[in-house]
Amino acid sequence: MNANNNIQEKIDSTLKAATSIEQVTVSPFFKDKTMQRLFSQKEEENIAWSWFSPKLQFATLVCVVAINVIAFTKLKVTTYDENVNQFAESYGLSVNEDNSLLN
């Protein structure tokens, strides 16, 4: 029975606390301050990529294109027959043209 009274007292104190809630007064510049803080954080995040400037991006692009051109020209120098012969020799698929018994 004592436990029920304690529970009822807790319920009553909770309801009294809920009825005593009043409207909160907010500074008229609260929204402006909040927006300023949000945008200042976004600018700090962009500083991390500021070193990758357009000049550096262009230099990187030129290097990548140059490496691709060099690789493509080296690829064109080798012919199909050379590649097939090299493949056959490496896997032992080529036929020896030497008819010597001493080899």
| Domain residue ranges of the chain, discontinuous segments joined by + | 50-95
- Where does the pLDDT of residue 86 fall: very low under 50, low under 70, confident under 90, or very high at 90 and above? confident
User: Which pLDDT tens digit goes with each residue over 43-83?
Assistant: 555 566 677 788 999 999 999 999 999 988 887 666 777 88
User: Which pLDDT tens digit goes with each residue over 5-31?
Assistant: 788 889 889 888 888 888 888 888 888
- Where does the pLDDT of residue 102 fall: very low under 50, low under 70, confident under 90, or very high at 90 and above? low
How much of the chain is in helix, strand and coil states, percent to nearest 5?
70, 0, 30
Q: How far is CA 39 from CA 10, 12, 71, in A?
A: 45, 45, 46
pTM score over 0.75 = no
Angle at 9 between CA 6 and CA 10, to 5 degrees: 90
